Structure formats: structure tokens, C-alpha cells
Amino acid sequence: MHLRLYAALVLTLLSPLAPSQNKPAVPLAATPPMGWNSWNWFAEKVTDKDVRQAANLLVSSGMRDAGYVYVNIDDTWEGTRDAKGVLHTNEKFPDMKALANYVHSKGLKLGIYSSPGLKTCARFEGSEGHEQQDADLYASWGIDLLKYDLCSLHKEMGVIAPGDKLKQNVIMRDAYMKMHLAIVKTGRPMVYSICQYGHDSLWEWAAEVGGNMWRTTADIDPTFFRIAQIGREQAGLAQYAGPGPWNDPDMIEVGNGKLTADENRTHMGLWHLVDSDLLNQIEATLARHLDVEKNHINRTRFQECGSLAAIPAFAADFDLRIGRKHPRHASACEGFIVDDQCPDVHASAVS
């Protein structure tokens, strides 16, 4: 009986119909990207200085050496377009090329954010109509990852094809494919992160439009109820993940200060189980407490089994305690999980 079950499992996994077979020969994201994302802590207030401090903290905490190498800037870095349509950064990011050089000098990679619509979710400039122009710009800066967030395109789809879900889906897929092709044309490898909140079973087609990772759910929030809800929604999706493409059940909230230590550990453990690409929030001292290095070793060991047991990567969205008020909270010390972390957990000084 056991031999028959084993044989059936092997045949299933080797079947050409298995989702894990639809992978490029040499995937860009052979293992899930690991690093940091700005949104859950800084939101719209993120600056060039914050990103440099995050890069420093990834190094000084030892997380870079454990594989956490992506430093991802989320929405609100965008300025305006000039007469030629070239997008410029706003005053918070005076020189993106210089910032990329700084991040790269630390042995890290830089990620950035845009939307296939006219506007991003925070109502900044999107990439619609400027896909190749923007992709070329990102390549010239040295960008290594693009998060592409549906945002205003969702409303545009309803206006163009009211009530026609099939046509709306085609519009959406075409938009994501257009940016993928633009990235490919630049000749610079960039991890392509598709964010459209899990609509239309995108895990079945996101890899076909170039996605290296895709959001499988609506936004997370730092409550255990929401975390558990998202975790349950991931049932059955691991089969679509593997070297090259990964599920993304949204940023981990570890370190956001609103969960207990046990909830943080459960949250991280749950995300381990779903073969996912993650952009998460994790405060440096807590990361060490949770044995980040051990997680990295386990991820490497399980990766040998391909998509069956690959431990997901974590893009750490640090709570940067830098001796000033949290942009979204009343106190610089509010929400610390362990009292003695406050206020002495600082990012490394920017050199």
C-alpha cells in the first residue's frame, strides 16, 4: 500500500501538467528574494535617509549575510514627468542612482515600486503609457526589483469594459505583460513582483506574464486575526511556487509592534509553510531572536527539494528605531515587543 501511494505521488510530481513544471530553465529568482520593504513602517513618509539606514541595519544585524539582500522602496518616491515623459523622483529622493550605488556598495540590491495604471495607490505617477521609458529609467539607476501594483488600473478596467470580467482580465494581463517585456528589453535582470491582490486566480497565470512573485491576497494588517485569515487562504497554493515564481501573501508584520512574541513566531512559521515570496517587517533584534541564520540554513537545505518544501524568503520591513518618532505612531518607543529594545535599537550611522 505504501509503495503504491509513493509511486502515485512521484507520478503526480513528474506529470507535465504539474504547475511546478512551467518554469524557465534558469529562473531569475531561483530562491525567494529576501530583504526589506519600506511600506508597513514608513508608508508615505519614507526618505532616502531611511532607505540608507535600512541598508546599514541589514548589514550590521547580520541579516545580509543570512541572505536578506533586497532593499525595496514602496510607493511615494515618484515626482513628475518632464516634457519628454521622463519620470523624476521627488524631493525625498534627490538622487536615485546615488542611492542605488550606496545600496549596492553594501552588497545589497535595490527594489522600486510602480503601477500599470495612470496613478499609484497613493496617487503618484504610474507607468501607463510609459512602460519602456520607466523600465529604461529603472535600469539606468541599477534597480534590481520592481513591485508593480494594480491600483488605478483596476478602476480603468471597469470603465473600459463595464461588466465584462473576461475583457477586464485580458486588459490586466496585457498590462503586466507589457511591463515584463519592457524590463526584458532593458537587458537588466529585475525581479518582477506582481501585486493585484489575488484576483482571478493569478497564481495560475502570473508566471506567464513574467511574474517572479505575486500577491495572493488583499492587504495584511498587524493583527493576528488577519494574519491567520491570510494563512488559511493560502491552502493549496504551494504547488504553484518554486524556483523562479513565488507566492506572496503580503509583507510579514513581525516587528511592527502590535503582535505578541508568540504571535510573531507563529506568523513567521506560518509564512514558512506556503512557498512564498515575502516582503515583510521584522525588527533586527527580534530577527536574531528568531534565529534568522537558522532559517536561512533551513531554506537552503529545503531548496534542494525544489518547490515541494522551499522555505520562503523574507523581505524584512524593519522597524527602524532611530531615536525619533515613528512616522505613523505617537512615540519612538511605542509597540516594542521587549522593553529593553527601546530606545537603544538604532540603525547604523549613514556614512
Cα 285 from chain centre: 21
Whether 263 has a pLDDT exceeding 60, the answer reads: yes
Domain architecture of the chain: domains with CATH: 28-329 (3.20.20.70)
CA dist 55 and 60 (Å) reads 9
Give, in degrees to the nearest 5, the angle at Cα 207 between 204 and 210.
150
Which comes out higher in pLDDT, residue 347 or 137?
A: 137
- Take residue 28 and report the three cell numbers written for it: 531569475
Contacts of 249 (CB under 8 A, 6+ apart): 215, 216, 217, 220, 230, 231, 233, 234, 271, 274, 276, 278
pLDDT above 60: residue 149: yes
Confidence label for 290 from pLDDT (cuts 50, 70 and 90)? very low
Q: What is the pLDDT of residues 206-257, one digit of tens each?
A: 999 999 999 999 999 889 999 999 988 988 888 888 888 899 999 888 777 7
Averaged pLDDT for residues 307-332: 33
Give every CB contact of residue 287 below 8 A, 6+ residues apart in sequence. 61, 63, 254, 255, 316
**5-25: average pLDDT:** 36
Q: Which residue has the cell 523562479?
A: 244
Q: In this predicted model, what pLDDT tens digit does every residue of 74-105 receive, in sequence order?
A: 999 999 999 999 999 999 999 999 999 999 99
* pLDDT of 275: 59
pLDDT confidence of residue 294: 44
User: Which of 149, 250, 317, 319 does the annotation list as catalytic?
Assistant: 149
Residue 149 catalytic? Answer: yes
> In angstroms, how far is the first alpha carbon of the chain from the final one?
64
Query: Could you read off the pLDDT of 335-350 as tens digits, one per residue?
Result: 322 223 322 222 322 3
Q: Is residue 24 within 8 Å of 293, Cβ to Cβ?
A: no
Q: Are 267 and 259 in contact (CB under 8 A)?
A: yes
Q: Tell me, yes or no, if 317 is annotated catalytic.
A: no
**Residue 19's pLDDT is what?**
38
Q: Across residues 96-116, what is the average pLDDT?
A: 98
Q: Is the dihedral of CA 41, 46, 50, 54 positive or negative?
A: positive
pLDDT given for residue 27 in this prediction:
66
Q: CB within 8 A of 25, min separation 6: which ones?
A: none
- C-alpha 296/C-alpha 71 separation (Å) is 17
SS3 147: strand
Q: Which of the residue ranges 30-39, 106-115, 124-133, 221-230 would you say has the lowest mean pLDDT?
A: 30-39
Q: Torsion over CA of 95, 114, 24 and 247, rounded to 10 degrees?
A: 120
Q: pTM to 2 decimals?
A: 0.76
Rounded Cα distance, 193 and 66, in Å: 22
Q: Which of 65, 200, 219, 221 is catalytic?
A: 219
In the prediction, which pLDDT does 258 show?
78
